[in-house]
Amino acid sequence: MTHDVFPVRLRDMTAPALAALRADAPVILLPLGSQEDHGPHQPMGDFLLAEMLAERIARRAAGAGVPCLVAPALPFGVADYFGSSPGGMALAPESFRRVLGDLLDSLLRQGLRRLVILNAHGGNVPVVHEVTLALRRRDGVVVPSFYLWKVARQLMEKRLEGGAARFGHAAEPLLSLNMALRPDDVRPDDMPAGGGELLGLAVKDFGTLDFEGLSVEAPVEFADVPKPAIEAAWAEGSAALGEAVAEDLVAAGARFVAHVAARGR
């Protein structure tokens, strides 16, 4: 990508260039994602999608006069239900807690205090809360977390009538967003199989079995989880829907950045 009037990626900048911008108190976006199984039809690395959206948000904010920069994405999330999937790589909660804390401390040490996490992995949520709460107690700094897929679902639901069955892991909203932003990595001919069983009981969902209609907790991983949401999403997901939701997401994200910048003055 060529350098333009709005340099927004920290990885493309020199340290002196960032030092010169520091006086403007830019908002720093930290994308978080994962390297995990999204079915045979979607790429594993959703951290790339998070980084793409973060860059769009930063450019939109910068274009509106709000200084905003994007830190490199953290590609590994907290270990979840995907350890059995080939290619999945994750961090234990304590490891993630230390890494995230170190990254935020690095930015705070440089006097960059307007920080926003753009999270793209559900397993990160409780640890992100712990880390940011500790920062608030220690330094009085509030670091909000903008959960991309949660916000994207809310925005997509506004564009659909019903459609609740289309949402879930490896289904919407990630499916249409990948179709729009990473079309070459979506494989339409490879749909995942249905769910499995454990202890002679049908797998109901992540970590649960069905016993006489009751949910019983069990160490169930993604490969055994039934996938009706993926089937429902695949029938109606599209690049057009993904691009429209991405635009809504970027607009909302840029407005949130502006809000953070204004509150920090």
Domain boundaries, the chain: 10-161+246-263
The reported pLDDT for the residue numbered 108 is 96
> Tens digits of per-residue pLDDT, 178-214?
999 999 999 876 665 667 788 999 888 778 898 999 9
pTM: 0.88
pLDDT tier at 59, thresholds 50, 70, 90? very high
> Tens digits of per-residue pLDDT, 225-240?
767 778 778 888 899 9
pLDDT tier at 62, thresholds 50, 70, 90? very high
The reported pLDDT for the residue numbered 42 is 86
| Assigned CATH for 10-161+246-263 | 3.40.50.10310
**Count of Cβ atoms closer than 10 Å to residue 25 Cβ:** 15
- pLDDT, mean of residues 257-263: 94
